[in-house]
């Protein structure tokens, strides 16, 4: 493996791993998450009446 | 108020979308593409494609999906009609139902291969000493030898696994969005990543497994994958004949040997191909953009449906980026470091060069695992990982069709799941029955799983940039957002992404259908075209024609339902009255 190969691998893997870690950190620490209710109505989905 | 389904948590929707994207392409297709097109050059084109195609279409799909959901629609036809407020929208949206439905028909078959391989590894029945042996197992297991031969139900046949996968998928989809899809992805995605990391550690610590071939080691395998400058041996039959590449050279030992051979013969030469020279090949850009496409599940009709279950105030910019980055992590940091280096270390370049997804995954890797210390365990883990990835993707293909059936026919989930189960059972039976040379699977994958993705994504980005309008699109995208989309994406999403996609489609039609390569090389009409209409000395293939006929029948069926749905008509009537 050449120096260039090491460089490409480290930059590529480092970039996407860093981006993924940053996103997870942001999602987990976002204050909004505490009172974030994506959940609209807690229902049993099977056989739900159609709107 | 209408009772509707919804996601249970923000992390849940991110895991579901990333679960949809993470699949076989991350662990098998991506490494093969990187190795084939030259590590550094491919990665540069890949990241550029990610920035100007992947992210823009993801954000556009998330935005349009949530907007459609606010109008009460969860299916692609309903969403697109609600957005453009014209009946043409629902017909364009039919593609967003057709694509996941057709892909599911063969994807569940591959899902069954993964499960079957994992169980065969753990019971110790995968002992191969050559690729021929593993190829024979694969051919018998999936019925590649003759039509109808895949319908066996033994442990070394795919039939039983297929039924199990079908039952699992429909059990989860019946439980619903939150209690089925989200529940499964919440456990499957972290498990998948943990398993991949365990396998990665095993692979990176393999060293040189064969003492007699020290040049076949993991470092050289990584070099084959990532080196930006390619060193190749070329040969010509006569002094006035053009040079043809014989093989790539990675290890210093092989380089010294090849250079000595080249010095002794005027018809052999060793040359270096630099990164920028490689990047001048349009084929490399086509491959990089295509990989981004398939990997991120853009143009599948999945993200638009998943996002429709969000609320108006939910963040979609960070969620979209998070799901996308999770997929990229699995692809580049895990998939990119596992398969090719492992195959290289055991078999050398001959075992990895020019291998397609199925060849690498189901012929080469089983042989590699069976020769590895604790190979049965790691083989089981690897194929179970692929199985988990396949299930999360399969579920995402079913939900858009479920949403469509519920909306267009006015039925509940139980009825829609039953109808979809019947349709997919018939369709999958077709794919599995015509298993010889995986012709039906291959034909459906080319026309729907490849070509139609480009078409749907292009339609979506044009609607976002030109019909909704970039200013309004950005305003909608930023509702509830915890981060901003960089302003440069206004220009990218309006001009660059659609133009780039249209260029890609043009090259795809030229090269992959008509066989015309403007940058040189042999010109031959694609077998996917000659299978349908004949030519190039070949007769049309009956199975390929029936496969395209199946697509046409499903498309007509979906279009008729869309056209006659009162729900879609009433929406436009209400909008017109207002």
Closest CA of chain A from B11, distance in Å: 7
Long-range contacts of B71-74 (CB under 8 A, 24+ apart): B71/B571, B72/A51, B72/B2, B72/B4, B72/B571, B73/B308, B73/B407, B73/B571, B74/B4, B74/B5, B74/B305, B74/B308, B74/B309, B74/B403, B74/B406, B74/B407
pLDDT at B281: 81
User: Tens digits of per-residue pLDDT, B91-141?
Assistant: 999 999 999 999 999 999 999 999 999 999 999 989 888 888 999 999 999
Q: Is the CB of residue A10 less than 8 Å away from at least one CB of chain B?
A: no
User: Tens digits of per-residue pLDDT, A21-38?
Assistant: 999 999 988 765 444 445
pLDDT band for position B357 (50/70/90)? confident
pLDDT at B1: 40
pLDDT band for position A18 (50/70/90)? very high
d(CA B268, CA B244): 10
Closest partner CB to A23 (pick from B228, B325, B410): B325
Coil, strand or helix at B538: strand
Closest partner CB to B482 (pick from A6, A24, A32): A32
pLDDT at A49: 47
Q: Which among B2, B44, B393 has a CA at the least distance from the CA of B185?
A: B393
DSSP characters over B178-195: IIIIIHHHHHHHHHHHHH
Q: Is the CB of residue B319 less than 8 Å away from at least one CB of chain A?
A: yes
How would you list the strands of the sheet with B268-273, edge to edge? Answer: B244-249, B230-235, B268-273
pLDDT at B252: 87
Q: Which of B1, B5, B6 to mutate to test the interface with A (most CBs of A within 10 A)?
A: B6
Interface of B with A in 273-292 (CB under 8 A): 275
pLDDT at B92: 96
pLDDT band for position B9 (50/70/90)? confident
Q: What is the DSSP letter of A44?
A: -
pLDDT band for position B519 (50/70/90)? low
Closest partner CB to B39 (pick from A5, A19, A32): A5
> Does the global pTM surpass 0.80?
yes
Closest partner CB to B227 (pick from A5, A15, A45): A5
pLDDT at A36: 47
Q: Which of B171, B208, B325 to mutate to test the interface with A (most CBs of A within 10 A)?
A: B325
More confident residue, B212 or B395: B395
pLDDT at B32: 80
Q: Which two tokens stand for residue B279?
A: 């990047």
pLDDT at B250 over 50: yes
User: Which of B232-236, B302-306, B354-358, B519-523 bottoms out in mean pLDDT, i.e. has the lowest?
Assistant: B519-523
User: φ, ψ for residue A41 (rounded to 5)?
Assistant: -125, 125
Helices (H) and strands (E) in chain A, counts: 1, 0
User: Tens digits of per-residue pLDDT, B17-49?
Assistant: 999 999 888 988 888 888 778 778 888 899 999
User: Which of B286-290, B407-411, B419-423, B490-494 bottoms out in mean pLDDT, i.e. has the lowest?
Assistant: B286-290
More confident residue, B492 or A51: B492
pLDDT at B282 over 60: yes
Angle between helices B30-37 and B218-226 (to 10 degrees): 70
User: φ, ψ for residue B268 (rounded to 5)?
Assistant: -125, 140
pLDDT at B344: 87
Residues with Cβ within 8 Å of B349's Cβ and at least 6 positions away in sequence, in order, are: B224, B247, B248, B250
pLDDT at B563: 96
pLDDT band for position A42 (50/70/90)? very low
Please state the ipTM of this predicted complex: 0.87
């Amino acid at each position: 493996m050449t120096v260039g190969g090491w460089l490409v691998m480290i930059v590529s893997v480092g970039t996407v791993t860093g981006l993924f870690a940053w996103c997870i950190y942001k999602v987990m620490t976002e204050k909004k998450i505490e009172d974030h209710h994506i959940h609209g109505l807690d229902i049993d989905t099977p056989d739900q009446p159609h709107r | 108020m209408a009772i509707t389904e919804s996601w249970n948590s923000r992390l849940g929707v991110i895991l579901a979308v990333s679960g949809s994207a993470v699949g076989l392409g991350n662990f098998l297709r991506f490494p093969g593409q990187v190795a084939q097109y030259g590590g550094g050059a491919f990665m540069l084109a890949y990241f550029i494609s990610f920035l100007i195609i992947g992210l823009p279409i993801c954000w556009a799909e998330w935005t349009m999906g949530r907007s459609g959901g606010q109008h009460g629609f969860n299916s692609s036809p309903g969403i697109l009609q609600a957005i453009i407020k014209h009946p043409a929208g629902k017909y364009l949206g039919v593609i967003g139902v057709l694509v996941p439905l057709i892909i599911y028909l063969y994807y569940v078959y591959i899902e069954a291969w993964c499960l079957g391989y994992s169980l065969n590894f753990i019971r110790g029945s995968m002992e191969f000493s050559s690729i021929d042996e593993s190829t024979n197992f694969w051919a018998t297991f999936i019925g590649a030898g003759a039509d109808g031969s895949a319908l066996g139900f033994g442990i070394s046949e795919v039939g039983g696994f297929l039924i199990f996968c079908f039952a699992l998928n429909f059990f989860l989809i019946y439980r619903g969005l939150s209690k089925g899809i989200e529940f499964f992805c919440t456990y499957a995605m972290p498990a998948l990543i943990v398993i991949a990391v365990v396998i990665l550690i095993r692979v990176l610590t393999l060293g040189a497994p064969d003492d007699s071939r020290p040049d076949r080691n993991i470092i050289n395998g990584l070099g084959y994958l990532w080196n930006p400058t390619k060193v190749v041996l070329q040969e010509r039959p006569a002094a006035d004949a053009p040079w043809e590449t014989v093989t790539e050279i990675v290890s210093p030992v092989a380089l010294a040997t090849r250079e000595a051979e080249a010095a002794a013969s005027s018809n052999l030469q060793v040359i270096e191909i630099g990164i920028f020279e490689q990047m001048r090949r349009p084929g490399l850009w086509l491959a990089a953009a295509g990989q981004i496409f398939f990997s991120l599940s853009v143009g599948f009709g999945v993200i638009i449906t998943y996002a429709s279950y969000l609320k108006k105030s939910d963040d979609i910019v960070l969620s979209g980026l998070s799901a996308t980055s999770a997929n990229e992590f699995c692809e580049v940091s895990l998939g990119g470091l596992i398969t090719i280096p492992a195959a290289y270390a055991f078999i050398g370049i001959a075992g990895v060069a020019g291998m397609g997804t199925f060849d690498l995954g189901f012929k080469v890797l089983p042989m590699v695992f069976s020769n590895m210390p604790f190979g049965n365990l790691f083989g089981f883990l690897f194929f179970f990982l692929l199985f988990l990835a396949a299930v999360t993707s399969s579920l995402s293909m079913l939900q858009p069709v479920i949403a469509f059936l519920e909306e267009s026919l006015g039925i509940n989930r139980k009825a829609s799941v039953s109808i979809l189960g019947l349709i997919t059972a018939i369709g999958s039976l077709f794919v599995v029955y015509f298993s010889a040379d995986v012709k039906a699977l291959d034909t459906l994958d080319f026309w729907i799983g490849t070509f139609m993705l480009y078409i749907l994504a292009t339609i979506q980005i044009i609607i976002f940039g030109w019909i909704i309008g970039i200013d309004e699109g950005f305003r909608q995208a930023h509702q509830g957002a915890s981060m901003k989309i960089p302003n440069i994406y206004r220009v990218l999403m309006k001009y660059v992404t659609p133009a780039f996609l249209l260029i890609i489609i043009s090259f795809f039609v030229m090269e992959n259908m008509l066989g015309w390569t403007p940058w040189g090389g042999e010109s031959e009409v694609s077998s996917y075209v000659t299978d349908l209409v004949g030519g190039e000395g070949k007769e049309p293939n009956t199975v390929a024609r029936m496969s395209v006929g199946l697509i046409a029948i499903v498309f007509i069926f979906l279009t008729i339902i869309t056209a006659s749905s009162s729900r879609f008509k009433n929406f436009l009537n209400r909008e017109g009255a207002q």
